[in-house]
Structure formats: structure tokens, C-alpha cells
A and B are shown apart, each in its own frame.
Chain A
């Protein structure tokens, strides 16, 4: 069943700065298989966002190898293999929500006749049906972020890279969006890489949790989740959930994340 989508072998990324070299990533070995929901968790500077950006070809590795769908990240990007969701919604304010979702479709040359159907479909998926003609500033923060996710789903990329998409939202909205994201994942069967600061969020959402720590940015633990596929919000209070969270915390401590 394991069908690797992303493979990283001794991946490294070093920045040269005025204060000396910064090892954002060092010796990262990782395999992410099709259909998995993988969370990356760690404190600032542990390299989780950097890893995501290397996969997306937004940064280039300085050591080691990484492949996406069997190709280099650059080739994967040119083939539009993934959708990226940023920390802020980043919707273009001069386009309506529908117009924003059409943006990647227009850039990628998807035939105009398909646009309307795709827009309607993804807005349904994120529960924003009927908001097509609204402008981004007319929507709340949570709704804008949902629109941003819809935008990443509009073209047919099987891989979704999400960089702390819910970080700027309050906890109640966050819980709700977590539920929706999980439901979305089940319906679309995509592979999702999800970067987060929040231990409960990582444990709740993922099939696999990658614990990272800083200086240098590296992987300290990879946890295969034992939680069942059905996950109501209440599962956060279960013993199993808490033990996985404890294991994550141990990994963070081992990587001196709390120092």
C-alpha cells in the first residue's frame, strides 16, 4: 500500500548569514506515502516550514535529495503537482472569491468551460457555497482561509502542502476547521503535509506525526498514529490521544525544544 509521494534522503539546507551559517535542515530522511495526512510539529526554527518550501520548490536544498512524485521538486512544480496553502489566506482583494479560485485555473490554462463547475465544487467542499461573488474583505478570517484551501483544491493536484493555515485564527474556529479539514481529506483522498505549532492539532489530524527540533533543524521522531479513522472532536480527551500527545512532547523535549 505504500506508494511514496515524497522521499527525502539526507536532505539539508544551510543559509549563509552575516552571523555565520544557519542549518535550517540537516540530514532529514523521510518518506511520505499516498493518502497519508502528515503533520510536522516543532518550535520556530526547527525547519518544518523550510521542509515544506523545499518540497514546493520555493527553496532549494543545499545537500541531499528530495523527490516529489518521483521527480525533482522543480519538475513537480512545473507539472502543477501540488496545492499550497499559506499561513495567511493571501486572497487577491481585487477579485471576488470566485475570481480568486479561478486564478490558478487561468494561469494553468485549464479550459474556461470547466471553470464554473470547478469553482462551485470546491466552494461546496469547504462549505462556502454561495459566496462566489463576495470580495475577500467581506469575509471573516476563518472564511478567507477556507477560500484559500478551496483555491488549492480547484486544480487536480493530489498533494496538498499546508503551512500553519489555522495559526492566525481563534481556537473555536480552529476546532471547527480541523473537523472540516479531516472530512475534506476523507472525501478527496489527497496526500496532505500539514505544518503546525499546536500539539493537539497535530495529533487530531494526522496519520503520521513528524516531530522536529531546531539548531540544527532535524527530525527527532516519526510517530505512526494509532487513532481510528473516525475522529469526533471529543477524541481529544481519550487516553490514546493523550498518550500520543505525550510522546510528541517527549520528542520535543528530546530535541531541546523547551530549552
Chain B
């Protein structure tokens, strides 16, 4: 209980703050409407109005919950109005990109650790790539692939893959190099081949680093998929909903997509944590 109480307190404080801001930010509209109709509004009427507007500047938490309920439980999962459908579109791009990025990251990492040429020429670029705002060229990547006739899932997955390969590469390079000198010496006394050292020593030792990177990579992959959906009139996915809500001035659409993305992010993190704990426990490396 002592561990959850502070978290619950903070979450409660956030919700209270949210409600307060809802009243404050929507009040202008209420007063404008009232003065135009020549009517006086009492404080409690104003509060009630701010919490139930159609196009609020800031929707109240219960409004967002209602919207989410409307677009999930009350819709068929395959309907284009269902948040679950959009979530699935984003999720599929995320997972594909994540898989590609992770595979790429591990391969590059192995290359960097085993080849001095790669270490010297590629690793600096891997690091430099982190400072370049790749996310910003998402629209261009989508256009480029569309011009080549590749549409839909793959361009978004490529963006996600690019964003997720970096943390995996950096983490795996650190992990593959983690075994201490005396363990490598031990393998030499066994006359172990390079493949054996990789498989039996370096890869197992890098598991904790890998899982830490996978979480970052998954979060980055999700962001990549969402941003990949945002420009050029994409029709489906959370990013598309954000765009639609923004273009048509429907805050509730934006907020439900945002919360949906947050829930998806949370779920993905939990899945990785569970896999991490199970794997590391089996390997005796659970902390």
C-alpha cells in the first residue's frame, strides 16, 4: 500500500487539476455565449456548462471517457469509427517496425563488436543519427514510398524501424561488450570458436541491456507509426485521428486518440516487462 499511495495521490492530483483547468479554459466560451444571449450565468451554471460543451477547449475527463467508450465498446471492432480499429492499424505498423528495427539493431551491433572497420566507420554515424530529427522527415518517407507504389503499412513500419534500431544498437553494443575480461579469457582457455563465444557468452550477457533498449525502442516505434500516419491524408490509425480531429476542430477526437495511444504505450511496456522478467528469471539474472 505504501508504494501505491504516492502514485494514487499524484494521479488524483492530476485529475483534480485537469477538472479545474477544464472549468477555467472553457469558461470564456460560456460567458461569451451568455453575453450574446443577454443572459446572466451563475457560477454553478458556468461550471456545469464548462464540463459539458460540444467543442470544448479542454474536454473534461468524463467527457473523454465517454467518447472513448462510444468509440470502443459501442462500435464494431471492424468499423472505421472504432478506436480499436485505429489502434490496430497503428499497432501493426508499430510491431512490424519494431521487429525490423530490433533485428537490424542486433545485426549492426554484432557487426560493430566483431569488426573494427564497422566500429570505426559506422558507430559514429549510429551515434550521430540520434542527433538528427529523423521523425521530422516522416512525411517525406511516406511520399517517397508512395511514389514507388508502396503504400499503407510498410512506409510507416520503415519509419518505426529507423527510430527503434538506434536504442537497440547502442544497448546491444554495450551488452555484447559487457562480459568482463576474465570471462573472455576463460572462453579462450576452452579454445572456444568466435560463434561459441557470441552464442554462449556475449548474447546471454547482453540480455538485461537488450530489454532496457527494447522498451525505449518500442516507445520510439509507436511514436514513429503515429507520426507516419499524420501527414498526407492518412485515413486510419491514431495519427490519422489526431490529424482529423485537428483539421475539423474536434477536440474530443484528438483526446480520445491521445488517450488510446497512451493506453497502447502502457500495454506494450507491460508486455515487454513481463517477457523481461520471465526471461531474466529463467536465466538467473532477475534483479
Q: So, do A and B actually touch in the complex, CB under 8 Å?
A: no
Residues of A within 8 A of B (CB): none
